[in-house]
Amino acid sequence: MEHEEDFAELLTRFRLEHNLSQGQLAKAARLSRTYIYHLEHGLRTAPSARAVRSIIRALELHGVERRKLSQAFSDLTGEYIDEDVDDPTIFDLRSLSTMQVENTLYPAHSLDRIWKICAWNDPCKDLFEITDELIDKHYGHLIHLIYDPQYRRRFQPWEELARRLTADFKFQTRGLSFHPDYRELIRSLKRMPDYRRLSETSETNTVPQASFLFHMRHSKHGALALRTAISVFSGNLDFSIVVYLPGNQQTLDVFRRNGWQKSAE
């Protein structure tokens, strides 16, 4: 009779099949390595449904694998993981984040967990003078765009902004070295001398601030001061929304004249 794997055994097997260490899985799922160790050795018999959902997302489990781990969790705890909550056909966070960006009152865009740009609203495209062709040139990644030798000239000073964003990027994507898209992005970034230089000297253990001020120059409207407002989308760490607010009165006037600050109805 075939042995039926329990939760600990399934978790260990799926992790190894995805070529992850316990530490890498812990970082990807935003859990501690000790927590993963205890789960795999049967030392924690009542994991939370939220933690298991995070593990499922980190391992990118679908279909039979997902159902097996969910059922093993139910057998272990007596709790049930609602399959519909994370089913992309029913609850498409990418589409929902795009809808939120489009309905934001200020320039905004969304990012996935490796900082790939999911959506820009029209005010954001106007503010940063972005085209789809420019985004495609940089694989759709924000950090890659920031290092463009021509585009970066609009940010003043550029290096201060690039260093901050690089540190934030490294912190937010820690533990994702297993992801194929992340690996491809890093290979491309490392071909840029300035990225290698700033990445080597950027802090990686500091939690990013939700808001900071930076300056740029628009080709039509001159110098602008912008303040970011960053939030995790619906409590899900896979997506975030970045909103850009006026950082001084001059920039506020530019926003109003160009319709970049919508009126709430």
- Give the CATH number, domain containing residue 131: 3.30.450.180
Query: Within this chain, do residues 204 and 104 fall inside the same structural domain, yes or no?
Result: yes
Q: How many domains does the chain have?
A: 2
* Structure tokens, 160: 């201060």
Query: Within this chain, do residues 208 and 186 fall inside the same structural domain, yes or no?
Result: yes
Query: Within this chain, do residues 145 and 206 fall inside the same structural domain, yes or no?
Result: yes
Query: Contact at 8 Å (CB) between 141 and 135?
Result: no
Query: Within this chain, do residues 155 and 79 fall inside the same structural domain, yes or no?
Result: no
Q: Is residue 241 situated within a structural domain?
A: yes
Query: Within this chain, do residues 52 and 104 fall inside the same structural domain, yes or no?
Result: no
pLDDT in tens, 218-259: 999 999 999 999 875 444 557 889 999 999 999 999 999 999
Query: Within this chain, do residues 116 and 217 fall inside the same structural domain, yes or no?
Result: yes
pLDDT in tens, 47-95: 888 889 889 988 888 888 888 999 999 999 888 876 544 444 334 667 7
Q: Is residue 210 situated within a structural domain?
A: yes
Q: Is residue 169 situated within a structural domain?
A: yes
Domain boundary among 43, 62, 86: 86
Query: Within this chain, do residues 78 and 148 fall inside the same structural domain, yes or no?
Result: no
Domain boundary among 86, 109, 141: 86
Q: Which domain holds residue 44?
A: 7-86
| For residue 45, pLDDT beyond 90 | no
Domain boundary among 22, 57, 86: 86
Cross-sheet strand order for the sheet of 213-218 = 117-120, 108-112, 239-246, 222-232, 213-218
Q: Is residue 155 situated within a structural domain?
A: yes
Q: Is residue 106 situated within a structural domain?
A: yes
Spatial CA neighbour of 113 closest among 58, 184, 162, 190: 58
How many percent of the chain have pLDDT more than 90? 46
- The C-alpha atoms of residue 191 and residue 196 are separated, in whole angstroms, by 8
Query: Contact at 8 Å (CB) between 114 and 140?
Result: no
Can you give the pLDDT at residue 32? 87
Q: Is residue 11 situated within a structural domain?
A: yes
Can you give the pLDDT at residue 232? 57
Query: Within this chain, do residues 130 and 226 fall inside the same structural domain, yes or no?
Result: yes
Residue where the block lists tokens 């059922």:
71
Query: Within this chain, do residues 68 and 171 fall inside the same structural domain, yes or no?
Result: no
Q: pLDDT grade, residue 180 (50/70/90)?
A: confident
| For residue 116, pLDDT beyond 50 | yes
Higher-pLDDT residue of 186, 230: 186
pTM: 0.70
Query: Within this chain, do residues 79 and 210 fall inside the same structural domain, yes or no?
Result: no
Average pLDDT of 184-204? 89
pLDDT in tens, 133-151: 898 889 889 999 999 999 9
Query: Within this chain, do residues 116 and 150 fall inside the same structural domain, yes or no?
Result: yes
Query: Contact at 8 Å (CB) between 199 and 215?
Result: no
Q: Please tell me the least confidently modeled range out of 10-14, 28-32, 192-196.
A: 28-32
- What CATH number is attached to the domain comprising 58? 1.10.260.40
Can you give the pLDDT at residue 172? 84
Query: Within this chain, do residues 26 and 102 fall inside the same structural domain, yes or no?
Result: no
Can you give the pLDDT at residue 85? 45
Average pLDDT of 32-49? 89
Q: Is residue 126 situated within a structural domain?
A: yes
Can you give the pLDDT at residue 86? 46
Q: Is residue 1 situated within a structural domain?
A: no
